[in-house]
Amino acid sequence: MGRWPRLSRIVGMRRLLLLGSTGSIGTQALDIVQRSDDLELVGLSAQRSWQSLVAQAQAHGVGRIALADPEAGAMAAAAWPEGEVLVGAEGLVRLVVESDADLVLNALVGAAGLGPTVTALGEGIDLALANKESLVVGGELVTQLAEATGAQIIPVDSEHSAIHQLVCGEQAGSVERLVLTASGGPFRGYTKEDLEQVTIEQALTHPTWEMGAKITIDSATLMNKGLELIEAHHFFGTPYERIDVVVHPQSIVHALVNLCDGSTLAHLGYPDMRVPIAYALHYPERVALPVKTLDLAQVGALTFEPVDLETLPCLRLAREAAVAGGSAPCVLNAANEVAVHAFLEGRLRFYEIPIVIESTLDRIGSETIHSFDTLYEADRSAREAASEMVQSGLLGR
Ligand SMILES: NC(=O)c1ccc[n+]([C@@H]2O[C@H](COP(=O)([O-])OP(=O)(O)OC[C@H]3O[C@@H](n4cnc5c(N)ncnc54)[C@H](OP(=O)(O)O)[C@@H]3O)[C@@H](O)[C@H]2O)c1
């Protein structure tokens, strides 16, 4: 299916399916779609925000939506009889398989995004991937699937979009190292003692990016950079020892690429996710966007510093799990999701998040991945172990 360009592609229109449309990436993607003459929206999905989803469908003339939550799906179907409402995990699969899309934007949050990633790639449909967890959990299998069906995966994460743009003119073998930049989050410069006092509100206040709750907490713990390290490894096939992270509080430089001749390429721009989203939705074309042109004299200084792995250990945990390989990144991700969820509900302290993750990794370990079933089983065991730890309430107190 992925071998022949669809007719819509040949005539310039791209049929886009937008998964997770009610979220931070999803709503910004809708802004891009509205400005584009080349994108035709063929479906939308959410977990349970049915009112927003129906309103989006009506505003964008979309006839078919999917809601993961059955109750929300029933409400949407009752309120919107003229539309088609698909429900549950199966509904999401049907939406992907039956929409005849040229491109799926996966903007779900968490490991729940793996299913739609696999379905889209299995159907040979190109994938604009915001859901980094898909690659963290199932990187090898996901990239093998894309190769087998000929579907492309185009990054949406700003750092990976930056690298994608930087390396596309380079010959294989000329790239020495990739450097991901990190803002450092709201707790840059904090001590371990300071972290014992931080609140949910403080952790949800990101200094440079406005994002969904889960990724904002991941940015505060630096787990987001750990997930991005694994994502970069799978996207670009670069060994972990050749991917670095540097703290850059202004978030103007999104990534750097060190080349074999001593040159370093950098991608710069004001932090605005519409730029990488538009790049992914239109690739290989570029479209004009109403964003400010970078004015370095106005920015003044760009500063860089090493990551404090001691105070915020999540990046170290992610790198260790990545190097261990097998199901370890899947376990890391599941434990992180459980811990972040518990933190956002006030059941876990901020500094306990890495403790839950490290203890879960120690308890579950890593297994060789034979199939997606190995991953689903590792995900389930890790969630169970992490939830038990959170409930026991004995973590580092
Ligand atoms: N936000 C950013 O600036 C940014 C930047 C780079 C990368 N990313 C990545 O992009 C992804 C999305 O992030 P976000 O910040 O946009 O998240 P978000 O604001 O929380 O939105 C998540 C979307 O996914 C839906 N969803 C959540 N859980 C689901 C489930 N179990 N099944 C089906 N749908 C589900 C939500 O529906 P409801 O509205 O019904 O909950 C919502 O539409 C994440 O992987 C994140 O790491 C985000």
Identify the bridge partners of residue 15 per DSSP, sorted by sequence position: 40
Q: Find the mean pLDDT for residues 48-54.
A: 98
Q: Assess whether the C-beta atom of 68 lies below 6 angstroms from ligand 1.
A: yes
What is the reported pLDDT for 394?
Answer: 61
Structure tokens given for 49: 């925000």
Report which ligand 1 atom has the smallest distance to the Cα of 25: 16
Cβ atoms of residues 147 and 231 within 8 Å: no
Contacts (Cβ under 8 Å, ≥6 apart) of 237 = none
CA atoms within 13 A on the CB side of 214: 20
- Cβ(221) – ligand 1 distance below 6 Å: no
pLDDT surpassing 60 at residue 205: yes
The percentage of residues in the chain with a pLDDT greater than 70, rounded to a whole number, is 96
**Residue 228 belongs to some domain of the structure:** no
Q: How far apart are CA 306 and CA 189, in angstroms?
A: 11
| Closest residue CA from atom 15 of ligand 1 | 212
Strands (E), 103-191: 103-106, 126-129, 153-155, 175-182
- Distance (angstroms) between ligand 1 centre and the Cα of 299 equals 30
The pair of structure tokens assigned to 390 is: 């959170």
pLDDT at 105: 98
State the closest ligand 1 atom to the C-alpha of 227, by its place in the atom list counted from 1. Answer: 47
Q: Which two tokens stand for residue 65?
A: 């939506």
At 95-141, the pLDDT tens digits run: 999 999 999 999 999 999 999 999 999 999 999 999 999 999 999 99
The CATH number of the domain holding residue 125 is: 3.40.50.720
Using CA positions, which residue lies closest to atom 20 of ligand 1?
Answer: 212
CB 134 less than 6 A from any atom of ligand 1: no
Lowest mean pLDDT among 153-157, 166-170, 312-316: 166-170
- Does ligand 1 lie within 6 Å of residue 118's CB atom? no
Q: How remote is the CA of residue 22 from the centroid of ligand 1, in Å? A: 8
Mean pLDDT of the chain: 95
- Minimum CA distance residue for ligand 1 atom 23: 20
End-to-end CA distance of the chain: 55
Mutating to test ligand 1, I would choose from 32, 45, 215, 344 the residue with most ligand atoms within 8 A of its C-beta, which is 215
Q: How far is the CA of 17 from the centre of ligand 1 (A)?
A: 15
pLDDT band at residue 172 under the 50/70/90 scheme:
confident
User: Which residue's CA is the nearest one to ligand 1's atom 34?
Assistant: 47
CA of 132 to the centre of ligand 1 (A): 10
- Examine the pLDDT at 16 and tell me if it is beyond 90: yes
Confirm whether 99 is domain-assigned.
Answer: yes
Q: Considering just the CA atoms, what is the radius of gyration of the chain in Å? A: 21
Residue nearest to atom 45 of ligand 1 (CA): 131
Tens digits of per-residue pLDDT, 232-267?
999 999 999 999 999 999 999 999 999 999 999 999
- Cα of 47 vs centre of ligand 1, distance in Å, is 9
Residue 2 pLDDT grade (very low, low, confident, very high; cuts 50, 70, 90): very low
Q: Is 340 in the pocket of ligand 1 (CB under 6 A)?
A: no
User: Does residue 4 surpass a pLDDT of 70?
Assistant: no
Residue 70 lies in a domain: yes
Q: Which residues touch 288 (CB under 8 Å, ≥6 apart)?
A: none
Q: Is 204 inside a domain boundary? A: no
- Checking if the pLDDT of 274 tops 50, the result is yes
Separation between Cα atoms, residue 302 and residue 91, nearest integer Å? 47
Residue 256: name the closest of 166, 184, 157, 130 by CA. Answer: 166
49-73 mean pLDDT: 98
User: In angstroms, what is the span from residue 319 Cα to ligand 1's centroid?
Assistant: 24
Structure confidence at residue 3 (pLDDT): 44
The answer to whether the CB of 277 is under 6 A from ligand 1 is no
The ligand 1 atom nearest the CA atom of 158:
6
From the CA of 211, give the closest atom in ligand 1: 1
pLDDT of residue 9: 52
Return the residue whose CA atom lies nearest to atom 47 of ligand 1.
215
The protein residue with its alpha carbon nearest to ligand 1, atom 5, reads 157
User: Per the structure, how many domains does the chain have?
Assistant: 1
Q: Is residue 238 part of a domain?
A: no
Q: What is the pLDDT of residue 11?
A: 54
Mean pLDDT computed over 25-47: 97
Residue 209 has pLDDT above 90, yes or no: no
Token couple for 63: 């006839």
Residue 61, domain extent:
7-155
- CA of 24 from ligand 1 middle (Å) equals 7
Tokens of 237: 């096939």
Q: What does the pLDDT read at residue 1?
A: 34
Pocket lining: 273 vs ligand 1, CB cutoff 6 Å:
yes
Establish if 288 belongs to a structural domain: no
Contact 280, 128 (CB under 8 A): yes
Q: Is 226 a pocket residue for ligand 1 (Cβ < 6 Å)? A: no
Q: Give how far Cα 209 sits from Cα of 8, 213, 217, 252, 259, Å.
A: 35, 11, 12, 11, 29
Q: Is the minimum distance from the CB of 356 to ligand 1 under 6 angstroms?
A: no
